[in-house]
Structure 1
Amino acid sequence: MAASASFLPILLLLLLLANAVRALNQDGVHLLEAKRALTVPPGALADWNPRDATPCAWTGVTCDDAGAVTAVSLPNLNLTGSFPAAALCRLPRLRSVDLNTNYIGPDLDPAPAALARCASLQRLDLSMNALVGPLPDALADLPDLLYLNLDSNNFSGPIPDSFARFRKLQSLSLVYNLLGGGVPPFLGAVATLLELNLSYNPFAPGPVPATLGGLSDLRVLWLAGCNLIGPIPPSLGRLANLTNLDLSTNGLTGPIPPEITGLASALQIELYNNSLTGPIPRGFGNLKELRAIDLAMNRLDGAIPEDLFHAPRLETVHLYSNKLTGPVPDSVARAPSLVELRLFANSLNGALPADLGKNAPLVCLDVSDNSISGEIPRGVCDRGELEELLMLDNHLSGHIPEGLARCRRLRRVRLSSNRIAGDVPDAVWGLPHMSLLELNDNQLTGEISPAIAGAANLTKLVLSNNRLTGSIPSEIGSVSNLYELSADGNMLSGPLPGSLGGLAELGRLVLRNNSLSGQLLQGIQIQSWKKLSELSLADNGFTGSIPPELGDLPVLNYLDLSGNELSGEVPMQLENLKLNQFNVSNNQLRGPLPPQYATETYRSSFLGNPGLCGEIAGLCADSEGGRLSRRYRGSGFAWMMRSIFMFAAAILVAGVAWFYWRYRSFSKSKLRVDRSKWTLTSFHKLSFSEYEILDCLDEDNVIGSGASGKVYKAVLSNGEVVAVKKLWSTAVKKEEGSASASAADNSFEAEVRTLGKIRHKNIVKLWCCCSCRDCKLLVYEYMANGSLGDVLHSSKAGLLDWATRYKVALDAAEGLSYLHHDSVPAIVHRDVKSNNILLDAEFSARVADFGVAKVVEGGTTAMSVIAGSCGYIAPEYAYTLRVTEKSDTYSFGVVLLELVTGKPPVDVELFGEKDLVKWVCSTMEHEGVEHVLDSRLDMGFKEEMVRVLHIGLLCASSLPINRPAMRRVVKMLQEVRAPPARVVVDRDGKLSPYYYYEDASSEQGSS
């Protein structure tokens, strides 16, 4: 018994020791504390098990040989919450923290002293999160910090002076934030810096600090989009170790200092999109490591230096959109590594070097919009790598070289508006990867080769205004992706091949002014043309009748069959079309006109057809104004049947009317109860009372219904029409303590508070509000055409031609600009969408529905829940719940894309998992801009539509800093019809974040 008693303490001691061995060490405890400070999605960090002895096997955790945690790497896990500095900085040997691409925020250092305790930290990556506020001074006190990446957050304010104190920092990256002040000269005191990246911040205008030239070890200097002005300091030429220099997209002026050519280690020099002047300095050819130089979109003049192409590893040269003169130097043909040469939009002349392309693996050559003469270099594709040959708008002559037929990788060829003659080589027609072949406005002869059957990826074939002969080959039907065939102004002959009708992607067929003959395609031959928007066959020799099946083409809006020998009647089926242009004049048509077209508006559409009759006075000899065609006179039997039908319909209407009268009586009796308890608050001088409003709230006056209530159309005794929004009753819900009742009250109060004080022509007018205990009414001006969304995404979309859509866009932009910039304090709408943009009888637009609007003090305000509509919500708003005017800008960008594409913001059948913004970007990248434009619109306005499209994409940028203010959006939209001369695109042909531009791709071939 005594032995057992003595053994018990030993057993307890052994159990305690065993538990101690299994207990999680202190580093693991701190990591679990950090995890608790964050919101972790289900399934993430599931292996962070508190029963483990150490955390060294946990996801994202790295330990040293002693089992101490040295690194935590948890990128892209959808983590939310404040940065857990207090917990992580208790890890004594922690050297690296990587939490990039999460939703960490809003504060980086919620406990001011916590961050400073990370004494061993060498690497901190919190890029792509939701951090806001000023940059913490404590960062500079981390003694061993080498790498700091805070890209793509919402930090604001100036870079703090404390950042001059970094002791060992080698890489500082603050790209895409909201930093103000200037680019600070004191960063030149951080002698250890190897990389400095401050690009795309809205700094105050200021110079490039000359002190940065003292960072002798600096390898990367990226200051793109930093609002820099003034000259480039020559001191930057002392950066002997610099490999990447990017000062693009600023307002730099003056010449390029010759000292820049002394950057002996430079791989890439980017100075594009500034206002630099003077010649390109000599000396760049001495840079042995130089791979890319981009001086585009400046005001540089003079000749291209001969020695520029002496750099042995030079691959990319962008000098487009300057004022360069003289010939392209012969040295370009000897550059052994040249891949991309873009020289478009200059004043270059002379002939291109004859050997261009023989010695270099050229992929892209763009010399468009110059005055270059001579022939296309015959060996331009000798290396077999060429994908883009863009030479439009020059003075080129000679023939298309036979060598192009060996360019199996060619995707885009644009040779229009030159003096090129001769036949197109057969094999060029059928290059397998060609998507664009543009040869218009030359002197080409010969026929369209049957070899075109091999052009499986061809989407656009433009041959207009040449001297092509022969017939259109039937092999054209094999080009299944063809969207546009334009061959007007040639000498083509013969009939249309039946295979044309099988081109399901065809959107434009323009063959006017040729010598084509035979009958037009009929019946099932054209049933595949579901995307055809333009059909122009004028001034040929076509005979036979107009195919009635044209009326079944769903998006056809441009039809020109004039100047042929067509006979028969104008088909009644054409009334199904919403035509922006219609012309069948100068044919041999006869008979009555379809009633829709029998008006003076369409007189010019039918001239030169002596046998046509209709309601247009004087159109044909036996026509009398107001006389109906025999076709539309019914027989006596038909009149009798019509009378019986009308009598039955009258009985039905009478029955329905009686039912509604009874229902109205019941509904009105409810509203008339306790009229003395109604309270009216007016915001304008009224000519009606609340009782007259109550009398109009009948169910047959309902014109809309939504999440907050019903909307009625009320015709008052004085003839005035108003819209009444009746919010859903909250009396029952209040008794039950429902939160939705409070939400309805808040919506009512927000709308009254916001709209009651606004006076602007593009914001819907709130006349007054009426309220009692369980009913609240808002009385607005009546908008006869309803919401933009209802019209745009319904059968009524034909009412919105391009001019109307443009006007709607500008009206709505001006309304939002007022809210953001002219209202004091500023108002953020928070639910901008096409259904909240209303249209009056003249299609003037008003911004409406302010139920979730917020007054923004100091530029931002925090929300407790997300407000907005699917497809319109800005990406950062969804996870930061912080409202700025840029949130509305994003939503308005989506509305602009709706107007241009005619597509809704989300549509699973059309876009799959994408939204409209992603669909537009993806489609433009892979198929071209033509495939996103609304085919119901007149493509004569394509240039304007493309400009508005790009403004929409700029507004819907994923990063708030890239979105322009609404005041700027208004200016850009106004410039759509009076565009500036300056071309401002980035090196990829994409929209610059800060400027409106005239799309170079439409005329100059850059995209």
Structure 2
Amino acid sequence: MTTITTSLFLLLVISCALQVSSNGDAEILSRVKSSRLIDPDGKLNDWAITGDNRSPCNWTGITCDSKNGAVTAIDLSGYGISGGFPYGFCRIRTLVNITLSKNDLNGTMDSAPLSLCSRIHVLILTENSFSGKLPEFSPEFRNLRVLELESNLFTGEIPESYGELSSLRVLNLNGNSLAGIVPAFLGNLTELTRLELAYVGFEPGPIPSTFGSLTKLSNLRLTNSNLVGEIPDSIGDLVSLVNLDLAMNGLSGEIPESIGKLKSIYQLELFLNKLSGKLPESIGNLTAMRNFDVSQNNLNGEVTEKIASLQLVSFHLNDNFFTGELPRVIALNPNLVDFMIFNNSFTGTLPTNFGKFSGLTEFDVSTNNFSGDLPPYLCYGKKLEGLISFGNQLSGEIPESYGECDSLNYIRMADNKLSGEVPVKFWELPLTRLELSNNQLQGSIPPSIFKARDLSQLEISGNNFSGTIPARICDLGELRVVDLSRNRFSGSIPSCINRLKNLERVEMQENALDGEIPSSVSSCAKLTELNLSDNRLRGGIPPELGELPVLNYLDLSDNQLTGEIPAELLKLKLNQFNVSDNRLSGKIPTGFQQNVFLPSFLGNPDLCAPDMDPIRPCRSKPEPRLVLVISAFCIAALIGALVWLFIKTKPLFLRKPNRTDKVTIFQRVGFTEEDIYPQLTEDNIIGSGGSGLVYRVTLKSGQTLAVKKLSGGPGRKPESESVFRSEVEILGRVRHGNIVKLLMCCNGEEFRFLVYEFMENGSLGDVLHSEKEHRAVSALDWTTRFSIALGAAQGLAYLHHDSVPAIVHRDVKSNNILLDHEMKPRVADFGLAKPLKRENNNGVSDVSPMSCVAGSYGYIAPEYGYTSRVNEKSDVYSFGVVLLELITGKRPNDSSFGENKDIVKYAMESALCYSSPSPEDKAMNQDSAGNFRDLSKLVDPKMELSTREYEEVEKVLEIALLCTSSFPINRPTMRKVVELLKEKKSLE
């Protein structure tokens, strides 16, 4: 009886102790929540001690030991909480796991209070905003097994204390801006199974040979970690490796034979390095490997039978210098899904059995020297999505079986020797792109092409296609590019073309098209290029073409067009304009009477213009008596018309502002709106855009102004109204030396205009890229470019940090940075700008969600792809693109970058292949190993740089790459950008 009583007593004591402990844990959690964390969405509302809720084990994110009820883990991932690191959680003595990933936590992590957490086993803080140096871990953290700090803002070198965390199994520091090199002391962590140091801003350094001691490692990820030198032989000692990712670095030399010892490897990623030599035969021993990528290196030689026999799922050899024929056995692989070998020098025929024994989805053999027929079984498994074979010498017909491949969505077969007719069902596939250009194909486009409703790009130029363009092509509402040039198409252009609202480029030159140019094409508001040259088109040039808001390339030459050149075309801002060799007549519109346009009008004998030799001047020689009669009649008619017009409305050049016109003065000026009205004439137009025309107005005082005239009246376009309101509301109160000055505005029923200071040197985009204008200043030296970059950055920093409210521009680009007579920059065009609102709880600035993507192609930040809510970091990205333009002298989407590359990707790849050389190496364009890729490959060749300027370009390049980071959180603020640009030394 005594024993039973004692046991019950002990059980009661333990139960009470657990209850006290549980209550204490609840108090700690509640206290930390209220003092350290911000819970804007109320996800932790149940963290409250009540009569019925005194145990925290049922609280959100809390895990307790099932036996004793003690709190063991806190997981608040993705709850949207903010604040600093909650050190107080570690007062719970039984806590071993803290997971706080995907939140808005910030601040630094101090070693002293962190010592409270020395008992924990797991610390996961990925995707937050912690900053400062990486936290130190004292020897008391002997039980720490998992440390994940990925995607934060930590800086500095990895502390040596990390090499003493003897129990550590997972170390993940991906996506931080760390300094130093990959430390060798991490080789002491012999319990590691996963080591991830990817996308870390290390200084150039080697893979430590000490990593060979990490024999339990299954996952080693050092992607984009600025690694240089050779892959050490000790890599072969990592016998437990399943995933090895060394991609996007500067590794050189040959792939070591020892890599063949990684018998457990499933994925081997070595792409985008500078590796050379042949593939080691030992790779054929990696029979467990399924993903193999050595693309974008300098590898050569042939693919051996042993390597070709591997049962790979993805096989990427593209962008190297491989030669020889493909072993036939490669097509017998039952696992092969993704096959990429483009941009090499392979020869011979493609194995016939490709696709017959596996479910191929991607097949790209482009830009090699393959000949013979296309493999007929590529879509045997009915899974093929992409078929890319352009740039070879393939011949024969397109297999009928391809027409049955309903999974295909992307085809590029250009620049081969394919012949015969295209199977009818091939035109009907659910493709987004069909490219067959420069072959010997024939036949016609069937009306059934309307079934390809997702088709965005139709490119079949340079073949022998004939017949008419079917009207059913107008059912393809997603079409952006239509290139039917250099064929034998006849008939007229379908008038239903107005239904293709997404058209951006139309090329139909060098065919036998007749009929008139349909005026309905003016409905294609996204059209930038229209080339109908070298056909048999008749009739006049539709004036409606002048309504196309973004058209910059118009070629109607070598046709049979008649009538006058419509003055409406002056609304267009054309980089390419050609109406030569037609039957046009009359006076060339005044705005086109410039020598730069002269070749555009040749071959039209009946055109006239003054001072455009050999175009004849506009004068006639009728009989004197007839001249008198006509003159008298015209004078009388003119006087009558003027009297009537004066009485009814008053002419523009005399009329005063309507009483309903509202004139607002923003700066001290010496003119009125009456001085401006008479000069808003066709001769003074200097530019145009979607919202209106821009005029150069010179006053009697000699002052020159820029005047943007917007549409008025009841038919005002909503976008024009938005531009006017945005410019007035923002520029009317902004005062900064690097932001264009709005001097006056007039808002009336008939006319609305905005008056700005005039920028003599136009836009930065014109100066950098225009072939027609600004030739005197086109070769900007680096000092001037740097000054422009700094001034523009200061203007944007003012908008983001000093303006109240703060402003996000939303259309930062080189064309919106104007230059005065001293080349001082002014940020301009605030038609898309929006005020920012500051959130009180976390200080993050934001704007309301946008109904559509704002900005200009090539400058738009990648987050627009997954959110409509943007902030000032979107401007930072666009400014980074402008910096790259200043360095390279190229447009954001220059064709020289290659397929699917923009200036950001081009610069990033060039920078990855670059390591800072000494001044002597710079002169030699190579480093001590002979591997240096000179930055002159990236820098605008129009600049001659001194050694000091070269170093400055390198610094600005680093800033540009920071600004164009894929993740907004990793981009600096514009205020920080200004500081970095002003720094005398290179970035650390």
TM-score (norm 1): 0.69
Question: How far off is 1:613 after superposition?
Answer: 3.7
SS in structure 2 of the partner of residue 124 of structure 1: strand
**Larger displacement relative to structure 2 (602-611 or 480-489):** 602-611
| Pair 1:333-2:331 in alignment | yes
Deviation of residue 552 (structure 1)?
Answer: 3.0
1:103 equivalent in alignment to 2:110: no
Q: What's the CA shift string for 1:823-849, capped at 9, x where partnerless? A: xxx999967956897523569452679
Alignment-derived partner of residue 818 in structure 2 = 839
Match of 1:943 in 2: 895
Asked whether the equivalents of residues 598 and 612 of structure 2 are also in contact (C-alpha less than 8 Å), the reply is no
Residue 93 (structure 1) aligned with residue 94 (structure 2): yes
Deviations 1:105-141 (A, max 9, x none): 31223xx443333344111101112222222332653
1:381 paired with 2:379, answer yes
Asked if structure 1 preserves the Cα contact closer than 8 Å seen for 2:610 and 2:617, the reply is: no
2:341 matches 1:367: no
SS in 2 for 1:383: coil
1:607 deviation in Å?
2.3
Q: Deviations over 1:492-538 (max 9, x none)?
A: 1222233334322222221111112233324xx43532222222211
Pick which of 484-493 and 137-146 moved more. 137-146
- Give me the TM-score of the superposition, normalised by structure 2: 0.70
User: C-alpha distance in 2, partners of 1:77/1:479?
Assistant: 44
Find out whether 1:568 has 2:568 as its counterpart.
no
Q: Cα 1:56–1:419, aligned 2, differ >3 Å: closer, same or farther?
A: same
Give the secondary structure class of the aligned counterpart of 1:56: helix
In the TM superposition, what is the alpha-carbon distance from 1:167 to its structure 2 partner?
2.8
Partner of 1:74: 76
Is the 8 Å Cα contact of residues 89 and 114 (structure 1) preserved in structure 2? no
Q: Which residue of the partner structure matches residue 3 of structure 2?
A: none
- Work out whether residues 208 and 232 of structure 1, in 8 Å CA contact, stay in contact via their aligned partners in 2: yes
> Mean alpha-carbon deviation: is it higher for 579-588 or for 613-622?
613-622
Q: Distance in 2 between matches of 1:357 and 1:580?
A: 46
Structure 2 counterpart of 1:457 = 454
Which residue matches 1:476? Answer: 473
Contact in 1 for aligned 2:418/2:439 (Cα 8 Å):
yes
Instruction: Confirm whether residue 639 of structure 1 aligns to residue 639 of structure 2.
Output: no
2:610 and 2:616 in contact (8 A); partners too = no
Kindly indicate whether the alpha-carbon contact (under 8 Å) linking 1:333 and 1:359 is maintained by their aligned counterparts in 2. Answer: yes
Are the equivalent residues in 1 in contact too, given 2:800–2:872 (CA < 8 A)?
no
Once residues 451 and 876 of structure 2 are traced to their aligned partners in structure 1, the CA distance between those partners, rounded to angstroms, is 29
Cα-to-partner distance string for 1:50-88 (whole Å, 9 max, x where unaligned):
223211111111111312111111112232222122x21
Q: Post-superposition shift, 1:649?
A: 7.6
Q: How far did 1:578 drift?
A: 3.1
Cα displacement (A) at 1:568: 3.0
Q: Which residue of 1 aligns with 2:249?
A: 250
Alignment of 1:644-793 (within 5 A): 784-785=758-759
The amino acid that maps onto 1:141 is: E
Match of 1:261 in 2: 260
**Equivalent residue number for residue 541 of structure 1:** 536
For residues 446 and 799 of structure 2, the distance between their equivalents in structure 1, rounded to whole angstroms, comes to 59
The letter of the residue matching 2:348 is: G
> Out of 445, 448, 452, which is 2:445 matched to?
448
Letter in 2 for 1:344: F
Aligned counterparts of 2:587 and 2:792: Cα–Cα separation in 1: 56
Q: Residue 417 of structure 2: SS of its match in structure 1? A: coil
Change (3 A) 1:566 1:829: closer
Partner SS state of residue 519, structure 1: coil
Q: Output the CA distance in 1 between the equivalents of 2:588 and 2:867.
A: 41
Is residue 408 of structure 1 aligned with residue 380 of structure 2?
A: no
- The counterpart of 2:494, out of the listed 493, 497, 504, is 497
Q: 1:945–1:235: structure 2 CA closer, same or farther, 3 Å change rule? A: closer
Q: 1 CA distance for matches of 2:838 and 2:104?
A: 14
Partner of 2:62: 61
**Which deviations, in whole Å up to 9, do the C-alpha atoms of 1:158-181 show, x marking residues without a partner?**
222222222321111111112222
Alignment partners' CA distance in 1, 2:900 and 2:778 = 8
> Residue type of the partner of 2:479?
L
Instruction: Name the CA shift for 1:940/1:168 in 2 (closer, same or farther; >3 Å).
Output: closer
Distance 1:336 1:576 in 2: 60
Q: Is the 8 A contact 2:762 2:819 kept in 1?
A: no
- Partner residue of 1:34? 32
Partner of 2:786: 814
Distance 1:455 1:21 in 2: 68
Given candidates 73, 84, 87, the residue that maps to 2:86 is 84
Give the conservation status (yes or no) of the 8 Å contact 2:318–2:343: yes
Q: CA deviation at 1:993?
A: 7.0
Paired residues of 1:900 and 1:948 also in contact (CA < 8 A)? no
Q: Do the aligned residues in 2 keep the contact of 1:307 with 1:331 (CA within 8 Å)?
A: no
**Alignment partner, residue 987 of structure 1:** none
Among candidates 590, 594, 597, match of residue 602 of structure 1: 597
One-letter code aligned to 1:96: N
User: How high is the sequence identity, in percent, across the aligned residues?
Assistant: 33
**1:177 matched to which residue of 2?**
176
- The answer to whether the 8 A contact 1:236-1:259 is kept is yes
Following superposition, the deviation at residue 337 of structure 1 comes to 0.6
Whose relative contact order is higher, 1 or 2, with alpha carbons under 8 Å and at least 6 apart? 1
What is the deviation of 1:807?
9.4
Q: Secondary structure at the match of 1:499?
A: helix
Report the count of equivalent residues.
806
Contact 1:788 1:835 in 2 (8 A): no
Matched residues in 2 for 1:250 and 1:380: separation?
A: 34
- Which amino acid in structure 2 is aligned with residue 252 of structure 1? L
Q: Residue 969 and residue 913 in structure 1: after superposition, are their counterparts in 2 closer, same or farther (change >3 A)? A: farther
Q: Tell me the distance in 1 between the aligned counterparts of 2:202 and 2:418.
A: 50
Q: Name the Cα RMSD after superposition.
A: 5.4
| Residue 448 of structure 2 is aligned to residue 431 of structure 1 | no
Is the 1:813–1:969 contact (alpha carbons within 8 Å) kept by the matching residues of 2?
A: no
* 1:357 aligned partner, one-letter code: G
Describe the SS at the equivalent of 1:431.
coil
Residues 255 and 198 (structure 1 numbering): CA distance in 2 closer, same or farther, change over 3 Å?
Answer: same
State the one-letter code of the partner of 1:635: L
Aligned to 1:728: none
Unaligned runs of at least 5 residues, structure 2: 1-14, 677-697, 707-734, 742-755, 803-807, 847-852, 878-889, 917-932, 944-959, 966-988
Q: Distance in 1 between matches of 2:876 and 2:798?
A: 29
Question: Residue 521 of structure 1 aligns to which amino acid in structure 2?
Answer: P
**1:446-498: CA deviation from partner (whole Å, max 9, x where unpaired):** 11222212111101111111111222122212222111111111111222233
Against the structure 1 CA distance between its residues 575 and 154, is the aligned structure 2 distance closer, same or farther, given a 3 Å change threshold?
closer
Mark the CA change 1:172 to 1:481 in structure 2 (over 3 Å): closer, same or farther. Answer: same
Q: Per-residue CA shift, 1:691-748, capped at 9, x if unaligned? A: xxx9979999999xxxxxxxxxxx999989999xxxxxxxxxxxxxxxxxxxxxxxxx
- The secondary structure found in structure 2 opposite 1:564 is coil
Q: Please state whether the residue corresponding to 1:420 is helix, strand or coil.
A: strand
Against the structure 1 CA distance between its residues 278 and 216, is the aligned structure 2 distance closer, same or farther, given a 3 Å change threshold?
Answer: same
Partner residue of 2:347 out of 346, 349, 354: 349
User: Aligned partners of 2:653, 2:372: CA distance in 1, in Å?
Assistant: 80
CA contact (8 A) 2:414 2:435 kept: yes
In 2, Cα distance between equivalents of 1:575 and 1:114: 69
Q: Retained in 1: the 8 A contact 2:611–2:617? A: no
Q: CA deviation at 1:192?
A: 0.9
| Counterpart-to-counterpart distance in 2, 1:212 and 1:623 | 83
Contact 1:124–1:149, Cα closer than 8 Å, also in 2: yes
Paired residues of 1:135 and 1:156 also in contact (CA < 8 A)? yes
1:397 maps to what in 2?
A: 395
C-alpha separation in 2, matches of 1:473 and 1:366: 31
- Paired position in structure 1 for 2:232: 233
Q: Aligned letter for 2:345?
A: S
